[in-house]
Chain A
Amino acid sequence: MHIVVLIKQVPDTQEVKIDPEKNTIVRAGVESIVNPFDMNATELALQLREQYGGKVTVITMGPPQAAMALKETFSMGVDRVILLQDRGFAASDTLATSYVLAQGIKRLEADGEKVDLVICGKQAVDGDTAQTGPGVACRLSFDQITYVTQVDKIDLDARTIVARRRLAKGVQVVQAQLPALLTVEKDINEPRYATLRGIIASERAKVIEWCAADIKADAEQIGFKGSPTWVKRIFTPPPREGGPKFDGPDAVKKALEVVLDNQHFKEAVFGEEGVCKR
């Protein structure tokens, strides 16, 4: 079975700040990590390889330094890593990104490496769109199963996969046809740590690099040209005004004076709509 994992290198979101003068994002000094959900995607691929055999290819579209993220997954034990890198890819939104990733997968298939399963994270923590996976599935005409919390069974003869997906009020067990694309939830597994051997091997790992021409990417569909959405403005949200702070022995009593005077609290706790259920 050939599994492709799509990973994204993201800045550690807690650290990202805005430059108040230039109104640009300050990334200097901010560490890059593999998108946490994509670590779960990689772990799932490795577990499935252990169970059903085959190989795992990890692909990312990103700047040259995204090779670091690929190496991190290599040290976990994946078989091959590919960087889709081209200046023309810069400024791609999810529509353009899903195009580039789908073209990369098509190149693999054209090379005779048929893909059975594509695994993505549920979302990337820098953008949080959760759109890239469904976009790739749609472009490849693969079945998609989003929000996967467990893979029950893969039947390589019948070419089916059974997985559980998280919905608002329950879990759905679905069967899809292979090739399929999954997006995975955080609680599907615990990503393994790299072994020392893995880390050493990753130092020497060959990162395959494909540019736009290598994946026959149409210039109209990548980067700025291929991205219908555009960022007009970025800003730091105005901070909410904090209220009074109480400390010391009488804090609770004093705080409750204010709380019990608060219209929202009164209505919710004592009013009709928040019927007090004791």
Chain B
Amino acid sequence: MSDQEWKGVLVFIEVTDGKVQEVGWELLGEAKKLASKINQNVQALIIGHDVEKFAKDAIAYGADVVYVVDDPGYKNYITKTYAKAFVEIVNKHKPDIALIGATNLGRDLSGAIATVLKAGLTADCTGLDIDDQSKKLLSTRPTFGGNIMATIFCQKGKPQMSTVRPKVMKMPEPDPKRQGQVIKESVPVDPKDLTVKILEYIPDSCLESVEIEHAKILVAGGRGCNTPAGLDKLKELAKLIGGELCGSRPLVESGAITADRQVGQTGKTVVPRVYIAVGISGAIQHLVGMQNSDCIIAINSDPNAPIFKVATVSIVGSWQAIVPAMIEELKKRMGRQ
């Protein structure tokens, strides 16, 4: 089959617990930019049970065509069934590019799909573009722990696949008046593929559960303030300004915070409006998870701490001296607002 037959930029819209993962919308925004550069359309693929209702949102966020695989058999995510449905849609509609959110589900799924399709897959991209000459997809991603960036393209195989972490691409403005086409597809589940069974789901208790990747304000602690008193001060600061607590890996390792609050290469990527880093040295593995925050305030007793290189405002000093003074000062200002 010739490569020219493959047309369109397809985005997988992940639905979990009856909700669309926002990264799907973020990717539709990005897909629109890519599609316009190669004069192709934007396609969305939704798989699940009772998910057809999300098709209009997909159109509002930028899809021209939405393929919906809606069947009780897809109520729960099972790699084999979802991969089969995905592959069938791809083989039928032949998109040139396929984008998937790099969530746990998306990463679980994309490796299987790419293997079946013998397609090139670039994981965890932070930038997507189209090569002027070849019109191929260029995917840029951090590698070697974020020290180095690599731009990768697919020399052969279709579609050209990439996964992108949540919050890396900008959320587009939805336009409820946009027009698009909804195509219902039937891909029955093969009972033979149901060897994996979900026995139980244990949601994190409300208290611990936090999605720091959605917080507008984050107060992050590092080894330099990893004491009960230090963490209490950070919590006080977070509460005052309406932020969430998160931290570097040593805090997770010592049990001071749960793993879902870890920022960095092996934790989460966050892009809040405000990130206050206290007692964090700024190792590359931490920086890759937070350096795109809009406003970074760093507090560290070491004037040469690498975190200062990425900070919007740096304060040299111990948390014991700085954080309480900051809380006091902020309280004064906030009273005045």
A residues bordering B, Cβ < 8 Å? 11, 13-14, 16-18, 25, 93-95, 98, 125-135, 137-139, 143-147, 162, 166-177, 186-187, 227-237, 239-240, 242-247, 251-253, 255-256, 258-260, 262, 264-265, 267-270, 273-278
Contact = CB atoms under 8 A, between A and B. Distances in A.
Contact of A268 (B148, B150, B273, B283): B273
B248 interface: no
B310 interface: yes
B294 interface: yes
B83 interface: yes
A230 B315 contact: no
A129 B108 CA distance: 11
B148 A229 contact: no
A174 B142 CA distance: 32
Interface in B274-298: 274, 283-285, 291, 294-295, 297
- The 6 tightest CB contacts between A and B, nearest first, are A134-B111, A228-B120, A13-B145, A268-B273, A228-B157, A170-B203
Contacts of B116: 138
A6 to B, nearest CB: 13
A138 B111 contact: yes
A245 B110 CA distance: 44
Interface stretch (B53-61, B167-175, B183-191, B328-336): B328-336
A274 B152 CA distance: 38
B120 A167 contact: no
B265 interface: yes
6 contacts: A126-B143, A168-B16, A173-B201, A240-B310, A244-B313, A268-B216
A264 B201 contact: no
A274 B216 contact: yes
Nearest to A242: B309
Instruction: State the main secondary structure of chain B at its contact with A.
Output: mixed
Contacts of A232: 138, 151-153
A156 to B, nearest CB: 16
B138 to A, nearest CB: 7
Given A125-B145, A126-B143, A246-B315, A230 B112 contact: no
A126 B107 CA distance: 17
Nearest to A246: B315
A169 B273 CA distance: 23
Contact of A251 (B124, B150, B198, B322): B322
B211 A231 contact: no
B256 interface: no
A14 B284 CA distance: 7
B153 A255 contact: no
Interface in B232-286: 239-242, 259, 265-266, 272-274, 283-285
Most chain A CB within 10 A, of B124, B146, B151, B295, is at B295
A273 B195 CA distance: 46
Interface residues of B, number: 91
Contacts of A231: 150-152
Nearest to A94: B121
Given A130-B111, A170-B201, A267 B239 contact: no
A128 B265 contact: yes
Given A129-B121, A245-B311, A245-B315, 7 more contacts: A127-B143, A128-B123, A135-B111, A245-B316, A252-B322, A270-B337, A274-B242
A177, A243, A253, A270 — most chain B CB neighbours (10 Å): A243
B334 A243 contact: no
Interface in B13-61: 16-17
B313 A174 contact: no
B295 A262 contact: yes
Interface string B83-123: 10000000000000000000111011111101110111111
Contacts of B11: none
Most buried by B among A130, A239, A258: A130
B174 to A, nearest CB: 17
A177 B108 CA distance: 17
A220 B146 CA distance: 32
A172 B195 contact: no
B112 A276 contact: no
Interface string B184-210: 000000000001111111111000010
A267 to B, nearest CB: 7
Interface string B120-147: 1111100000000000001000111111
Contacts of B316: 245-247, 251
B63 interface: no
A132 B111 contact: yes
B329 A228 contact: no
Given A98-B115, A130-B123, A243 B201 contact: no
Nearest to A167: B104
B197 A175 contact: yes
A193 to B, nearest CB: 17
A227 to B, nearest CB: 8
The residue among A25, A229, A255, A269 with the most chain B CB atoms within 10 A of its own CB is A229
Contact of B326 (A145, A147, A252, A264): A252
A168 B112 contact: no
B182 interface: no
A137 B112 contact: yes
Contacts of B204: 169-171
A105 B34 CA distance: 40
A187 B257 CA distance: 13
Contacts of B156: 228
